[in-house]
Amino acid sequence: MSAGLQIGESFVGAGAHAAHINTVFGDREGPAGVAWATALATPSAGHVPFVAVLRPSLPVKPLTLFVTKSAPDGDEHGLLIWGPAQAGVAAGVADALADGVITPEQADSHVVIAAVWVNPAATDADEIYRNNRTATRTALENGAQRFPATADVIAAREAPSNPFYTPEV
């Protein structure tokens, strides 16, 4: 595992139930800790960061700040953010800890910031949970491995694409 600030990304699933996760992982005493505390203390309209929990009063370790990329678009969308998406993020962080992506020592010395997208058109709570769990675990591993390789970025530059757009080349 590499040291320092780790930034990861993962996109899992398709359509309205896809999960797009960005993670920042680092020492509480460094920039990740400052960003974590600052984000928690400075919510904005529609974006209220909160500590991800495995169940009430049992926060995941390392302490993980859940930050929404989309403001809740009504009560049902908000429940999908606070319910299955949060549970998936917490379980994905716990998976990374159990699998050794995060060491037991880092569980108490580091923090995670997870920026999470839940599509307002999403409806399937179980699929949202599964996709967010996998995407969170994968984003943390990608950050630890400094993924992607620079050569892959250079090779892909002429034909970028994503689930929402593919340019005509």
With respect to residue 164, please indicate whether it lies within any of the assigned structural domains. no
Q: Is residue 129 part of a domain?
A: yes
- The answer to whether position 123 is within a domain reads yes
CA 4 to CA 106: how far, in whole Å? 12
Give the residue numbers spanning the domain of 22.
8-146
In a domain, 91, yes or no: yes
Look up the pTM and report it: 0.94
In the numeric block, which tokens belong to residue 91? 């379980």
pLDDT digits (tens, 9 = 90+) for 56-97: 999 999 999 999 998 999 999 999 999 999 999 999 999 999
CATH code (residue 110): 3.30.230.60
Name the band, by pLDDT with cuts 50, 70 and 90, for residue 3: low
Total domains in the fold of the chain: 1
Query: How far, in Å, CA of 67 to CA of 75, rounded?
Result: 17
Q: Is residue 90 part of a domain?
A: yes
Tell me, yes or no, if 17 is annotated catalytic: no
> Among the options 20, 47, 77, 110, which is catalytic?
20
- Residue 13 CB neighbour total at 10 angstroms: 20
Q: Is residue 131 domain-resident?
A: yes
Instruction: Tell me how far CA of residue 58 lies from CA of 61, 72, 138, in angstroms.
Output: 9, 24, 22
Is 152 among the domain residues? no
| Residue 168 resides in a domain | no
Confidence of residue 162 (pLDDT cuts 50, 70, 90): confident
